[in-house]
Amino acid sequence: MKRTNVGGQAVIEGVMMRSPKSYAVAVRKPDKEIVLEKKAVKALTDKYALFRLPLFRGVATFIDSMIVGIRTLTYSAQFFETDEEVEPSKFEKYLENKFGSKKIEDFIIGFTIFISIILGIALFMVTPLLVSRAFKRFINNVWIINLLEGLIRIIIFLSYIYLVSKMKDIQRVFEYHGAEHKTINCFEKEEELTVENVKKHSRLHKSCGTSFLFIVVLVSVITFIIFNVENIWIRIMSRVILVPLIAGISYEIIRWARKSKSKLAGIVSVPGMWLQRAFTTREPDDAQIEVAIAALKGVLEDEEKH
């Protein structure tokens, strides 16, 4: 089987695995059967040459990941809906007849991504700025204020991760997250994808989304310390406008750290790996590993066809 880059994501009672050309999501239904859905994908980096350039490819990868992530989460959730079916409203029926269910689904995914980005910027970028401004009456040095803003941003991020990790349903997802990492690590070591082989591997991975988000926070701290402007409105706008640049830089750092064997790359990876160990991954059981293996085998089978 040819070598390929594979990433993944935990979903509700399942795992999504993605290669450059397709993704496969495996879900264990309430009746214990594993269902598998495979779909081809065309990344923004394949559609537009601009997004193959450094920095731009990070933004494109982030957007692609959110689209596939929301789509596969929605797919996995449908197997666990317990409410009685609700009759669509006349407006919903009109939209479906007018635009088709596929376009409506794409609109919902796009709207969800838009709202998620807005809320993320508000919580992790703008809120630390506004909180740090409250200390201006005590601190006149703008560099210290910027440093304080960065510290508040890190505290908010760590608090968010901690609180999310305490939710019972999310803990189950984090077990599948561990299964995803173990399976990818086994594949990257070129070992046969069996439960016994996968169990031997680490539940941590350098390219995890947790590591990426933490690098984003650190890069934003450095960026906004350097971007030293007094005007509050320009400062707020900078926290929004510079997000793509921060995401692009963070992606390049993660990409380099994954490929490099240097000590510096190892040091850069430590905080993200620690967060994975402490909060966002848990040891999976054999049944969860089976699901992750099914997803990875499914995407690798499709990759062979291309």
List Cβ neighbours of 303 (8 Å cut-off, separation of 6 or more).
Answer: 2, 4, 19, 20, 21, 22
Residue 43 tokens read as 């990344």
Average pLDDT (2-21) is 88
- Residue 87: which pLDDT band, with cuts at 50, 70 and 90? low
Per-residue confidence (pLDDT) for residue 148, from 0 to 100: 93
The answer, yes or no, to whether residue 236 has pLDDT greater than 80, is: yes
Closest C-alpha among 211, 219, 269, 210 to residue 244: 219
| 288 Cβ contact partners less than 8 Å away, ≥ 6 residues apart | 28, 175, 176, 178, 179
Q: If pLDDT is split at 50, 70 and 90, which confidence band does 92 have?
A: low
Give pLDDT, residue 1: 47
> Does residue 84 have a pLDDT over 60?
no
For 227: left if phi > 0, alpha if psi spans -120 to 50, otherwise beta; the answer is: beta
Residue 35 phi, psi dihedral angles, 5° rounding = -105, 145
Domain ranges across the chain: 7-305
Question: β-pairing, 34-40 with 22-28?
Answer: antiparallel
| Helix or strand (DSSP H, E) at 171 | helix 168-188
Residues 6+ apart with CB under 8 A from 139: 145, 148
Q: Give percent helix, percent strand, percent coil of the chain, each to the nearest 5.
A: 70, 10, 25
Q: Per residue in 94-146, pLDDT tens? A: 556 666 666 767 777 788 888 988 999 999 999 999 999 888 888 888 888 88
- Please state whether the predicted TM-score (pTM) of the whole model is above 0.85: yes
What backbone torsions phi and psi does residue 27 show, to the nearest 5 degrees?
Answer: -130, 135
Strand partners, 229: none
Per-residue pLDDT tens over the stretch 146-199: 899 999 999 999 999 999 999 988 999 999 999 999 999 999 999 999 999 999
pLDDT band at 5 (very low <50, low <70, confident <90, very high): confident
Residue range 247-274: average pLDDT? 92
What's the mean per-residue pLDDT of the chain? 88
